[in-house]
Amino acid sequence: MATTFFLVRHAAHDRVGSVLCGRMPAVNLGELGRRQADALADRLGGERISAIYTSPLERARETAAPIAQRIGLHPQASDPITEIDFGRWTGRSFDSLGSDPDWTRWNESRSTARPPGGESMGEVQSRVTGELSRLQQDHPEGRIVLVSHCDVIKAALASHLRLSLNDLGRFEIAPASVSILVAWGSEGKVLGMNEAVAS
């Protein structure tokens, strides 16, 4: 028995690409993001989805809402698929981080680096893959939407692709994209990655 996961990165907010929002509160979708969320609902509306889970952060919940409405299911909050805890980097601009040697180490060696006061990429991968395993047990042969965040989705895909965490920069997970993972037990295969639904 296999469970199909539709891994959805939340739609765009106005700080994408400029600020490391992390777990900042009150980061909401902008106008583009709301259009993208509606397009995601169109994309996933015919997929016979059996459950939808979302990161508890606002931008993920706002992305999940039109999808859930379209498929007639209530989105359930899932703490293990929330954004990385970036510690003291939370809320800083990417421009300001560029000169930080710890930021350089983070991007060069995700397998060993850690944001100051935050969590490691290994911890992120452990929590998201643990949640995937739990959901496989709860939804055998289910088709599940998970609305999450860029590097959290990358960590899940890297686990099944047997990629090092240092290789996360080799592929993209854009806002409002869909990646599809089929998993059974500890095995799985990626059927699609970074499908752009709307620009």
The predicted structure's pLDDT at residue 102 = 95
Laid out side by side, the sheet with 187-196 consists of 76-77, 51-54, 143-148, 3-9, 177-184, 187-196
For residues 40 and 63, is the Cβ–Cβ distance under 8 A? Answer: yes
User: For position 17, what pLDDT does the model report?
Assistant: 80
Residue 16 structure tokens: 């994408």
Q: CB within 8 A of 186, min separation 6: which ones? A: 133
Residue 106 half-sphere exposure toward CB, CA atoms < 13 A: 19
Q: What is the dihedral of CA 71, 143, 54, 158, to 10 degrees?
A: -150
φ/ψ of 112, rounded to 5, equals: -125, -20
Integer Cα distance of 197 and 175 in angstroms: 9
No. of helices (H) and no. of strands (E), the chain: 6, 6
In this prediction, residue 199 carries a pLDDT of: 61
* List of the chain residues with pLDDT < 50: none
* Full-model pTM: 0.96
Give buried/exposed letters for 144-153 (b at 16+ CB in 10 A, else e). bbbbbbbbbb
CATH entry, 3-196, from 3.30.420.40, 3.40.50.1240, 1.10.10.10, 2.40.340.10 = 3.40.50.1240
Cα distance between the two ends of the chain: 35
User: 122: buried, middle or exposed (CB in 10 Å: 19+, 13-18, 0-12)?
Assistant: middle
Tens digit of each residue's pLDDT (9 = 90 or more) over 74-116: 999 999 999 999 999 999 999 999 999 999 999 999 999 999 9
* pLDDT on residue 16: 85
Contact criterion met (CB below 8 Å) for 194 and 151: no
Domain residue spans of the chain? 3-196
pLDDT at 59: 97
